Amino acid sequence: MIVKMKKVTLLLSAKDKEKDLIDLRKQGVLHIHHIKNPVSEDIQFLENEIDNVHRALRIVAEAEPLKTEIKADEAPAWVEKILALAQKREALARELEEHLETHKWFDTWGAVSYASLQELNKAGIFVHFYVAGKSAFKKIDPEKNVQIAKEEQNAIYFAYFSNSAEDRLEFKEESCPAIELSELETQITQVQSEIEKIVQELTEMSGILPALNDYLVRLQKRLELSRVRDGMGDMEEIAYMQGFCPIDSVPALQNLATENGLAYVIDDPDDPADVPTLTRNPKPIRIIKPLFDFMGTLPGYSEQDVSFVFLLFFSVFFAILIGDAGYGLVFLFATMFFAHKKKDAPREPFFLMYVLSGTTIIWGIITGTWFGAESIARLPFFNVFIIDKIDSFASDNQIFLMYLTFIIGAIHLSVARALAAAHKIKSPTAIAEIGWIFILWGLFFVAGNLVLGKDMPGFTSWLFIVGSALIAFFANFQKNILKGILLSLGNLPLDIISSFSDVVSYLRLFAVGYATVVVATSFNNMALGNGIGSVVAGISAALILVLGHSLNILLGMLAVIVHGVRLNMLEFSGQIGMQWSGKPYEPFKE
């Protein structure tokens, strides 16, 4: 259920607004809607400091914690020190990289002395270093004084000695670094040593992580307070602010305003697009929230909370797409294991997996699917529960299974239109939504005929006639009836085609579920088809079964995300008209 909100305007004394804001934050019920864009030097400073703390945390968290601890008020200085050390480490790393790059020259040419080359130049002997291909090197005048330093597969490194600085060869020349090799190696050792000292120092700081995290929280609270303060409107000695409050928290907010001597105005929201969404559901329905959080979806304030319908049909889709009771047991035991290990974690994700595992097991039982092994399904105990019409290993029931997915789709989409009608119950347009239910079931029979070759009942045409009439008269209901009918009929053909596509798209449930069974059976045959005649064969069969079924489970989970979620987020949401445009209710609180 989406909680109703009230728009609240508070008038505060400009000189006491800091105190009033602190009291308001303690109460923690008002979602702030800024009057103006909050901009100030204080906000910019806090944002920069928070960014610095995040960087410091990333730097220090690279090492294992040691014993270093600090007081809370020392955190800012330590953040500055950490960033300075990190900056110095980066500069040293760049310097080391340059030194190592220079050292590569000596790896190729040997311990050439730059000072000796300068002495030779003074004596009128000039040395040039070249790289040439082997074929090109052979063409050098034999009278030229060259000395090979190194040969590779396709290149020769050589020095050319001449009596003139201008006497050069037409090859790629490499200059000797202006440093002695011993001096370069000393510098490399020194830089490496400095980097190691910084790394050690940062490692010893890793024990201050709790204090830095506490400092970060305080900064974030200060930033939030500053944004609220600087986002208020000003009228000389009066400051005013606006926000949204859940209707059941309004009395408490009124009491706080009265106690602090604040004037207030409470009214219905002007624009639903500005209002945050707060959903409250019973615990059994609330277990679907982790999936919504994972997808980052939230209904808009003026939309509907479809948590129960989403949970119900998603559980069915999950069961059909995974389609195997054995896999359901794997999910169940894995959930039990992690729930026991992670006792402090939120319970909703585990309860959701319990439900999904349970529906998968039930579907697998009634379809006779246990790790894709027909031999298990035919055992006396398991065979009792199989429904022949949906038996995974029956060769003549695929048409029925596809027809069943059309039935599920028609029901799912009809529920969407029924919810849309309930949402518009005070408007004549609700009748048009009922007309769409007629259309959807007409499309269901058409899909059965076109895709599966099933005969359409005689009343199919009446479903379209009645549905179209209701849509034509009420979809754009207005005083000018003829204009409203023409507007409705103009979009109707394309909307019907789109709805037909929605109905047919539920065929993906059969296709993916059937593929899961086929893949599982194939791995079973690959592992056990020729029997197990040796220890090696037994080990190979076990590996094939474990890896094959693990891969099949992963593909099934991917299918759930791609197809199971899609049917709710696109087909269902399209019929109900949901945009999932909500922004979360985030009250100003401590």
Question: How far is residue 367's CA from residue 332's CA, in Å, rounded to a whole number?
Answer: 19
349 touches 290 (CB < 8 A): yes
The span from the CA of 465 to the CA of 579, in Å, is: 29
pLDDT at residue 359, as a whole number = 96
Cα–Cα distance for residue pair 566/588, rounded to 1 Å:
34
In degrees and rounded to multiples of 5, residue 92 shows phi and psi of -65, -35
What percentage of residues in the chain have a pLDDT greater than 90?
57
The answer to whether 307 and 282 are in contact (CB under 8 A) is no
Tell me the average pLDDT of the chain: 89
pLDDT digits (tens, 9 = 90+) for 100-112: 999 998 988 888 8
**Strand partners of residue 146:** 160
Local structure of 375: helix, strand or coil: helix
The pLDDT value recorded for residue 170 is 86
Query: pLDDT-derived band of residue 141, with 50, 70 and 90 as boundaries?
Result: confident
Share of residues in the chain with pLDDT > 70 (%): 97
Considering only the C-alpha atoms of the chain, give the largest distance between any 2 of them, rounded to a whole number of Å: 112
Read off the pLDDT band of 67 (50, 70, 90). Answer: low
Residue 323 has pLDDT above 70, yes or no: yes
pLDDT band at 443, cuts 50/70/90?
Answer: very high
Model pLDDT, residue 331: 95
pTM, to two decimals: 0.79
Show the 3-state SS of 167-228.
CCCCCEEECCCCCCHHHHHHHHHHHHHHHHHHHHHHHHHHHHHHHHHHHHHHHHHHHHHHHH
Domains and CATH numbers, the chain: 1-37+238-278 (3.30.70.340), 39-102+181-230 (no CATH), 113-175 (no CATH)
Given this model, what pLDDT does residue 529 score? 72
Rounded CA-CA distance 225/22 in Å is 8
Q: Where is average pLDDT lowest: 13-17, 169-173, 561-565?
A: 13-17
- Among 291, 346, 423, 421, which residue's Cα sits nearest to residue 2? 423
> What pLDDT shows up at residue 72?
65
Query: 407, 389 in Cβ contact below 8 A?
Result: no
Q: Which two three-digit tokens encode residue 503?
A: 């109905």
Is pLDDT of 509 > 80?
yes
pLDDT at 62: 59
pLDDT per residue as tens digits for the range 258-290? 988 889 999 999 888 899 999 999 999 999 999
| Contact status, residue 438 vs residue 464, Cβ threshold 8 Å | yes
Q: Which two tokens stand for residue 461?
A: 């045409």
CB of 374 closer than 8 Å to CB of 521:
yes
Res 70: pLDDT: 64
pLDDT at 513: 92
Asked if residue 66 lies in contact with residue 207, where contact means CB atoms within 8 angstroms, the answer is yes
Q: What's the average model confidence in pLDDT over 197-226?
A: 85
CA dist 53 and 48 (Å) reads 9
Query: Taking Cα atoms as reference points, which of 352, 285, 273 lies closest to residue 318?
Result: 352
- Does residue 480 have a pLDDT over 80? no
Distance CA 399, CA 390 (A): 10
Statement: residue 503 has pLDDT above 90:
yes
Alpha carbon dihedral 186, 191, 192, 196, in 10-degree steps, equals: 140
Task: Tell me the average pLDDT across 548-572.
Answer: 92
Residues 6+ apart with CB under 8 A from 116: none
